[in-house]
């Protein structure tokens, strides 16, 4: 079945892409969750119009995004957490914690979904974490996890 992705889906594609997927995957997962629609002629035309609008918006904010990416790439976020034996954290540092701290440093809100953290940080030290600013801009922030005193 051919579907038109309405949102980016990991390991499948970005919003606006047309992909051929198994019928069950489309009917039981993608379409009910709003990740895709059936690729009809009218849906494809509508997606093309939306793609043009997105390109214009992207060009308009390109310079602003570049400067924001440069600022984000230079930021170091320091977070404190309780530590047990072997410098292992009692809890974990999550994408939400990083987004909140980064938002405070930048002075603007950062969505936790844009912080690309594979799994929560559970050890002390320096960690590099990618933050998605735009489709092709993902600067890395240095996250320093220190022991709470």
With 0-12 / 13-18 / 19 or more C-beta atoms within 10 angstroms meaning exposed / middle / buried, residue 73 is middle
Same domain, 135 and 99: yes
Helix (H, G, I), strand (E, B) or coil at 36: strand
22 and 74, same domain (yes or no): no
Q: What is the per-residue pLDDT across 72-91, written as a single tens digit (0 to 9) for each?
A: 889 999 999 999 888 788 88
* pLDDT 10s digits, 43-56: 889 888 988 998 88
82 with 27, same domain? no
The total number of structural domains in the chain stands at 2
**Beta-sheet strands, E only, within 6-111:** 18-20, 36-38, 76-81, 88-93
Residues 78 and 55 both lie in one domain: no
- Which pLDDT score, from 0 to 100, does residue 24 have? 95
């Amino acid at each position: 079945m051919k579907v038109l992705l309405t949102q980016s889906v990991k390991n499948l594609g970005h919003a606006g892409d047309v992909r051929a997927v198994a019928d069950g995957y489309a009917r039981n997962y993608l379409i009910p969750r709003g990740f895709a629609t059936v690729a009809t002629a009218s849906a494809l035309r509508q997606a093309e119009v939306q793609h043009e609008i997105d390109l214009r918006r992207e060009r308009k904010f390109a310079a602003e995004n570049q400067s924001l990416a440069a600022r984000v790439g230079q930021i170091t976020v320091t977070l404190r957490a309780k530590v047990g034996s072997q410098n292992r954290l009692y809890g974990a540092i999550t994408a939400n914690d990083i987004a909140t701290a980064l938002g405070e440093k930048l002075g603007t809100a950062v969505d936790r979904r844009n912080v690309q953290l594979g799994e929560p940080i559970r050890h002390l030290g320096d960690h590099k974490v990618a933050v998605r600013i735009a489709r092709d801009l993902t600067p890395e922030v240095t996250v320093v996890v220190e022991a709470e005193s």
